[in-house]
Amino acid sequence: MQSFAFDMRGIDIRYPHFAMENLNLALPQGQVMGLVGVNGAGKSTTIRMLMGLVKPAAGQIEVLGYQMPAQQVQAKYEIGFASDDMRLYKSQTLQWHMDFVHSIYPQFDQAYAKDLLKRFELIGEQKIKGLSHGQRVKASLLLVLARRPKLLILDEPTTGLDPVARDEVISELAEVLRDDARSVLFSSHNTHDIEKLSDQIAFLDRGKLLALQDKETYLDSWSRFRCQLPPGRQADITGAVSIRQQGQLAEIITDQNNHDFPQRLVQAGFTVLEQHRMSLEEIFVANVKRSR
């Protein structure tokens, strides 16, 4: 029987300008889930419910075997959380922060923390005010990871980083997660980060779950075709998510990319000129446009 790091069932929650209805979302233990959506899609609301900060109007939430929000205190000892707006004490050193977190969480692994210091190229004796933004992000991640939480929740942790620093942080985080398999929910609107880290993809838009699938299967199911049409023919094919036609040329996007779909294009009289695998960002845009 499969066990889950968290399981959300039949979730309903309403705000004046936002509603989430009958959301079902579960993360198998040991998996990394990328939670993708534009601002206002419901990512932060989902995280707040998982952390026990918000109680839904209906539905059940279980995190690491604890019922939320009733058992949030017990659950939070085993949950690690990091976001882009976390702040450290600028006048204190990173080592001071490590000792402080250790005083609250006895399971804080000092040896692992020292290993992360080397991996992240940080100096424990350096004060926070002397760190770059990228180094502060790494420091926050170190403090969370060294607690060895059973569930790691990352909420837009790389927001505000320049492309080089972001790639550096994500690459090092990916390496850490490979070495120490754990359950992770990674929330971001940056699809490049999601694509690099995640085993599963969950798409949210306006409180609705548009897709939930393992990453490789999901990416393989989408494709972009460039076709030539017979004279006077309008592009129309079952299974197309979007069609853009200009004269006798058409760009067709599908989420049913299998051996049958190209054959159906040919049978419909189209000449397939090109077929391209789509990035997660391109899929994200196409999926959101389809839902609106």
CATH number where 242 lies = 3.30.70
Give pLDDT, residue 5.
95
Q: What is the pLDDT of residue 133?
A: 87
Residues 242, 195 within the same domain: no
Judgement on whether residues 263 and 118 belong to the same structural domain of the protein: no
What is the C-alpha to C-alpha distance for residues 285 and 280, in angstroms, rounded to an integer? 9
CA–CA distance, 98 with 140 (Å, rounded to integer): 10
Q: 129: domain CATH number? A: 3.40.50.300
What is the extent of the structural domain holding 266?
221-290
pLDDT of residue 179: 67
Q: Which of 161, 196, 216 is the last residue of a domain?
A: 216
pLDDT tens by residue, 53-83: 999 999 999 999 999 999 999 999 999 999 8
The pTM score is 0.88
Q: Are residues 62 and 174 in the same domain?
A: yes
Indicate if 152 and 262 belong to the same structural domain: no
Query: What percent of the chain has a predicted confidence (pLDDT) above 90?
Result: 66
- Does 173 share its domain with 104? yes
Q: Are residues 202 and 237 in the same domain?
A: no
- Please indicate, yes or no, whether residues 247 and 114 belong to a single structural domain of this protein: no
Task: Check whether residue 110 and residue 240 sit in a common domain.
Answer: no
Single residue among 160, 190, 216 that ends a domain in this structure: 216
How many structural domains is the chain composed of? 2
pLDDT digits (tens, 9 = 90+) for 196-231: 889 999 999 999 998 899 999 999 999 999 999 988
Same domain, residue pair 72 and 181? yes
pLDDT classification of 290: cutoffs 50, 70, 90: confident
Q: Which of 183, 216, 249 is the last residue of a domain?
A: 216
Do 257 and 197 belong to one domain?
A: no
- Please tell me the predicted confidence (pLDDT) of residue 58: 97
Q: Indicate whether 230 and 209 sit together in one domain.
A: no
- Is residue 180 over pLDDT 80? no
* pLDDT at residue 160 in the model: 77
Strands (E), 16-107: 18-28, 32-36, 58-63, 66-68, 79-83
Mean pLDDT of the chain: 91
Claim to verify: residue 192 and residue 261 sit in the same structural domain? no
Q: Which of 87-101, 162-176, 247-261, 274-288 has the lowest mean pLDDT?
A: 162-176
